Amino acid sequence: MRIVCPFCGERELGEFTYLGDAKPVRPEAGASEDEVFDYVYLRDNVAGQTSEYWYHGGGCRAWLKLTRNTLTHEISSVEPAAGVGARQAVK
């Protein structure tokens, strides 16, 4: 598998580390116990399109958000995760 880093270009998988599902959103303060439990523990085991965080630690050290198909391994989009760098990628 190769990932096209928006900053560095196409790189081998060994330069990246998987963080996890990019879908869960941290609940607001004061959210119910069920919502927090969901956020911390529950994950979908998706057959198809997923969004996930990857870290380009062997390269530019940017966090990336991928859209990947777990059935075909096709990566349909790679973008900088929110807060990466002081501004977005310069194409």
- Shortest spacing between CB 37 and another protein, in angstroms: 32
Q: Is 12 in the site for another protein (CB under 8 A)?
A: yes
- With contacts defined by CB under 8 A, name the span among 17-25, 30-38, 47-55, 80-88 that binds another protein: 80-88
User: In terms of residues, how long is the chain?
Assistant: 91
Q: Is 24 in the site for another protein (CB under 8 A)?
A: no
> What residues between 56 and 75 interact with another protein by CB under 8 A?
57-62
Give the whole-angstrom CA distance, residue 64 versus residue 58.
Answer: 13
β pairing state of 49-55 and 63-69: antiparallel
- With contacts defined by CB under 8 A, name the span among 23-31, 42-50, 51-59, 68-76 that binds another protein: 51-59
Is the CB of 46 or the CB of 81 nearer to another protein?
Answer: 81
| CA angle in degrees (0–180, nearest 5) for 55-56-61 | 100
Q: Is 15 in the site for another protein (CB under 8 A)?
A: yes
Which conformational region is residue 61 in: left (phi greater than 0), alpha (psi within -120 to 50 degrees), or beta? left
